[in-house]
Structure 1
Amino acid sequence: MGGEFDSKKKLADLLRKDFKFITKNLDNDPSEFWSRTFIKTTVSLIEAEIFLLKQEILHYCGNNQIQLSPELLLFLNNKKYEINSSGQITERLLQVRVTDDIRFVFGQILSIKGHKPQKDFEDAGWSKVISTIAVRNRLTHPKSVDDMNISKQEVNDCKLAFNWCISNVVHYLDQEKNDIERRVTNLEIIRDKLINESSKDS
């Protein structure tokens, strides 16, 4: 899929390892260091998983000759174009709110592949995604010491947010697996018919 995909995949793998390690330290966290790190790492991991889903969509469309509109290609590639001070067209990274990006990706998966998320945006977990991202933003751009304080509830909400996102990613992969198994079964049926037909002619 390309160098950027490989780079993000390595990042996601690293963040998954960090996530597991940090989770083990949450129970002994008097300074709230691990709680802050947990929330920031979790949101970064969600962002990485969403990027990988975008690449999966692009890969699927490319393999199946599905034409995407120019704007969809830009959004899926996280790109935009601007005219710089020299009058030249320049490629830039598209900055999208994480919550909007999540809605966009699962909307495209439904539109292009017909796969529905396991947990929709009415599920209680989605509200935890929204609140957890808000906490991450607060930690990233603190205006006071109080902004660095993390409650047990915010940590628990982060866990629920992560579960909402990962449940939907896993559900998507399960649907992909089912699609592949159906295609393999159909190919085996066609193969067996050809074998039977050829044996009759011989």
Structure 2
Amino acid sequence: MVRIDASEYLYNVVRHLKGHSLGTVEEIVDFFRSIPRNRHLQIEERIIPDLHDALFDRDAAVRLNVVEILALLGRVESVRFLEQLSESEDEGTLIPAAVTKAIDGCRNAKSEDIRNQLPAAREILNADVVDCLIRLKRTDSQVHRRNFVRAVFAAIEGFVSVMKAEIIEQSYAGRFALSRSEKAVLLEEAYDLNDTGNARVRPFFLPTAKNVRFVFALFARVHELSTNADYSGHGWKSFRQALDVRNRITHPKASADLSVSKSEIVFTEQAYVWFLDATFSLNPDGKDEISGLFNQARQFNQIVEV
């Protein structure tokens, strides 16, 4: 598919919605992401064909935003254009995933807000950690210990996914450039050939510790931050120890591997504290709510051993 330069179409849309044009793709991205969720978006009929053309813009940020706009509009006539984009899209997995959601909504003439809602996942995952910790402190059992360890690393990996998605979206918006290797790692993709010699994308598994270090370092670099996580102290050591426990109970080789000691719970707590501190030193958004809730759970003292 030959890409076109269709940014002017988005400028027209913004002009109709806001009363004036915006100068950069970044401003357009920010404008559409500021539209309140669940608000039905209405624009003039004559803009629709321009939006369909803009689906094939050279700029990935433009394509992604047009997909999101069409999903908000929820018009059946957009389906065939979205399907064409689905067949031609070659920019990682973020846009194809958005296209799939947009097609589903448009087929049913249903307005859908498909903009990135991953940040809310952090609160949900942290709430899981808090719930598991309180349950453990109320009734200390092996089941609750294992659940706490699992919840901590589910939250950690979820937080990392949110940071990755934010970096990818910001790169699409033109805020900074990523290397091909960085983009592939962020998308967790690798490439090889199938039996017929055609190139294909396959999932790429990233070990948790390496994944955390990569995302923290990349986030700091693209945002020109001097802050980075401390890997020389007790917190990172606890993280590695807790990760070994998670891996052991996830892939046990004997029944004894499922037993989690009190000391292992202690450094799992310390690992999560270190991770939250490192995360919020890079981006403080949500720190008070997330860290505050977890710290309250840590202070919960009603313990009943069984």
- TM-score grouping bracket, smaller chain normalisation: 0.7 to 0.9
Is residue 110 of structure 2 the alignment partner of residue 110 of structure 1? no
Does 1 or 2 have the higher relative contact order (CA < 8 Å, sep 6+)?
1
> Following the alignment from structure 2 to structure 1, what is the Cα–Cα distance between the partners of residues 170 and 186?
12
Instruction: Confirm or deny: 8 A CA contact 2:216 2:228 kept in the other structure.
Output: no
Which residue does the alignment assign to 1:154? Answer: 264
Query: Does the C-alpha gap of structure 1 residues 21 and 65 become closer, same or farther in structure 2, counting only changes over 3 Å?
Result: closer
Instruction: Confirm or deny: 8 A CA contact 1:118 1:167 kept in the other structure.
Output: no
**Higher helix residue share:** 1
> Following the alignment from structure 1 to structure 2, what is the Cα–Cα distance between the partners of residues 20 and 27?
11
Query: Does the C-alpha gap of structure 1 residues 30 and 11 become closer, same or farther in structure 2, counting only changes over 3 Å?
Result: same
Which residue does the alignment assign to 1:34? Answer: 144
Give, in angstroms, the shift of residue 30 of structure 1: 4.6
Instruction: Confirm or deny: 8 A CA contact 2:220 2:282 kept in the other structure.
Output: no
> Following the alignment from structure 1 to structure 2, what is the Cα–Cα distance between the partners of residues 36 and 6?
31
Give TM-score scaled by structure 2 length.
0.52
> Following the alignment from structure 1 to structure 2, what is the Cα–Cα distance between the partners of residues 174 and 8?
16
Query: How many aligned positions are there?
Result: 175
Residue number among 148, 151, 176 corresponding to 1:66 in the alignment: 176
Gaps of 5+ in 1: 176-202
> Following the alignment from structure 1 to structure 2, what is the Cα–Cα distance between the partners of residues 75 and 29?
41
Deviations 1:111-151 (A, max 9, x none): 22222446411121001111111110100110111101111
Give, in angstroms, the shift of residue 8 of structure 1: 4.9
Deviations 1:81-108 (A, max 9, x none): 2222343322222111110011111111
Aligned-partner residue type, residue 157 of structure 1: F
Which residue does the alignment assign to 2:15? Answer: none
Instruction: Confirm or deny: 8 A CA contact 2:242 2:264 kept in the other structure.
Output: yes
Is residue 128 of structure 2 the alignment partner of residue 18 of structure 1? yes
> Following the alignment from structure 1 to structure 2, what is the Cα–Cα distance between the partners of residues 9 and 121?
25
> Following the alignment from structure 1 to structure 2, what is the Cα–Cα distance between the partners of residues 72 and 87?
25
Is residue 199 of structure 2 the alignment partner of residue 97 of structure 1? no
Query: Does the C-alpha gap of structure 1 residues 6 and 41 become closer, same or farther in structure 2, counting only changes over 3 Å?
Result: farther
> Following the alignment from structure 2 to structure 1, what is the Cα–Cα distance between the partners of residues 138 and 148?
13
Query: Does the C-alpha gap of structure 1 residues 83 and 38 become closer, same or farther in structure 2, counting only changes over 3 Å?
Result: same
Is the partner of 1:122 in helix, strand or coil?
coil
Which residue does the alignment assign to 1:200? Answer: none
Which residue does the alignment assign to 2:197? Answer: 87
Deviating more after overlay: 146-155 vs 164-173: 164-173
Instruction: Confirm or deny: 8 A CA contact 1:11 1:48 kept in the other structure.
Output: yes
Gaps of 5+ in 2: 1-63, 65-93, 99-114, 286-306
Give, in angstroms, the shift of residue 45 of structure 1: 0.8
The percent identity for this pair of structures is 22
Give TM-score scaled by structure 1 length.
0.77
